[in-house]
Chains A and B, each alone.
Chain A
Amino acid sequence: MTLTTMLTTMGAGMLRTIGIFFLTLIGSLPLGMVIMFGRKSKNRVLSAIVKGFISIIRGTPLMLQLLVWYFGPYYLFGWSIKGYRYPAILIGFIVNYACYFAEIYRGGIEAMDRGQYEAAEILGYSKSQTFFLIILPQVIKTILPSITNEVITLVKDTSLAFTLAYQEVFSLAKQISASETSFTPFVVAGIFYFVANYVVAYVMDRIEKSMSFYS
């Protein structure tokens, strides 16, 4: 195998990794908000269920969750899981990250000064106006560093998709290295993850800076 073929093959894997990365963020950032609302619900039963679910997701390995999401439907209901590999990976990642984001959102919201709610209430803002116009923008600013940490972890976690034999960078590096008895694929994969994280850190830093006009 020439270096060019190797890089082309791994390039395709990189695109799949990037695909998981972005689809996970697009799905989990809003889903985390929904889960957080469930967690903070006045309905005690709902809140308790969501709380239990979050602690299960956060208390078990993502690798195991991916296996459960993929094989669960077959073992539990006898459903065919043909063609279900990619959806299972996305569900696994999105649900897992949404639970982490939900707890970050909750922490941010609970740290908000009660005076902000009271000022908005006196001025007549509705509950949803207060949340989306007054509270959320400030919460986003305070939780951004925690979000950055999760996003950087996600770059590395995408490699767990190999559990379900998905041909992303890490799986391919392992395969090619074994078949070609070469160390190069690992170096290529390493550089890829490092550069990806560098870009993530840069972008998040720019976002943080764009919000630093107030404190």
Chain B
Amino acid sequence: MILEMKNIEKHFEDCEVLHDISLSVDSGEVVSIIGPSGSGKSTLLRCATFLEKIDRGFISYKGETVAHTPDGAKAEYVSRKEIAKAKNYFGLVFQNFNLFPHYSVLKNVMDAPVTVQKRDRKEAEAEAVKLLGKMGLSDKANAYPCQLSGGQKQRVAIARALAMNPDILFFDEPTSALDPELTGEVLKIIRQLADEKMTMVIVTHEMNFARAVSNRVIFMDGGYIVEEGDPEEVFGNPKQERTRQFLQNYNQ
């Protein structure tokens, strides 16, 4: 088990955003999360990646506890050092890329391995070059993000996340900020990662893609997991009325 989240509760001010959410991800699994706007998908990923703190519940990576909740009180996190260690286990790809605009493409990919993980510069550079090749961006290594298309930016962002050698990669709507004709090149890369058995959790509105690529689909609505299961079942024969409605609205 790479990620284990149990009974997660999260609220903003007086608004409950996540209700008793549990999500476990095994090595090599690809989990897609779908659901209407405001259902808490991003918040769930942000809790999993420590950008938001949970109110109650349990989080662990590779068996190492990061947050737990002693007798129903407030969630407690482990020490900063242990959190920093757990951060090495995952990467996150944002909807709007968040590349560093003042760094070249190559530096975007290799800087964190050198600066944060203290890896050898030559070795990090060689790996970054290799990753950019895999993303089909070999000729863009010296370009700056502002010179790239949205699809190219997102592929750099994926390379940047992969350069840290994560055990699990989170995607928050990786193609939502892209022009429709550019989504394909990004989805192709993610599909390729899935073929290589990269563990991934993908929040997406691309239903066909989710159906094709994932081992498991989660449908969220109003901060609850409404339905969860095999993609063929969730998409082909949803058990819950709300899932059915959501998918129907989507196909129109």
A-B contacts counted at CB < 8 A amount to 53
B88 on the A face (CB < 8 A): yes
Q: Report the contact-size class of chain B (Cβ under 8 Å from the partner).
A: 20 to 34
Cβ contact of B116, chosen from A118, A125, A213, cutoff 8 A: A125
B84 and A215: CB pair below 8 A?
no
B98 on the A face (CB < 8 A): yes
Kindly report which residue of chain B lies nearest to residue A123, judged by CB atoms: B112
Bound CA span A180–B224, Å: 88
* B100 cross-chain contacts in A, Cβ below 8 A: 116, 119-120, 134
B51 and A118: CB pair below 8 A?
yes
From B57-65, B89-97, B123-131, the one touching the partner chain is B89-97
Bound CA span A138–B99, Å: 12
A141 and B102: CB pair below 8 A?
yes
* B98 cross-chain contacts in A, Cβ below 8 A: 113, 115-116, 118-119
Contacting residues of chain A (166-215) with chain B, CB-CB under 8 angstroms = 213-215
Instruction: Using A134-B100, A214-B102 as known contacts, say yes or no to A122 and B116 having CB atoms under 8 A apart.
Output: no
A138 and B51: CB pair below 8 A?
no
A137 and B49: CB pair below 8 A?
no
B84 and A124: CB pair below 8 A?
yes
Q: How many Å from the CB of B86 to the closest CB on chain A?
A: 10
Instruction: Using A138-B101, A214-B101 as known contacts, say yes or no to A124 and B116 having CB atoms under 8 A apart.
Output: yes
B94 and A115: CB pair below 8 A?
yes
Bound CA span A124–B50, Å: 11
* A119 cross-chain contacts in B, Cβ below 8 A: 94, 98-100
Q: How many Å from the CB of B104 to the closest CB on chain A?
A: 9
Bound CA span A122–B84, Å: 10
Cβ contact of B102, chosen from A122, A125, A137, cutoff 8 A: A137
A133 on the B face (CB < 8 A): yes
19 A/B residue pairs, CB under 8 Å, sorted by A:
A113-B98, A115-B96, A116-B100, A118-B94, A118-B98, A119-B99, A120-B100, A122-B49, A122-B51, A123-B160, A125-B115, A129-B115, A129-B116, A137-B102, A138-B101, A213-B144, A214-B101, A215-B101, A215-B146
**Closest CB pairs A-B (n = 10):** A119-B98, A115-B98, A123-B112, A124-B116, A214-B144, A215-B146, A122-B92, A214-B101, A137-B102, A124-B87
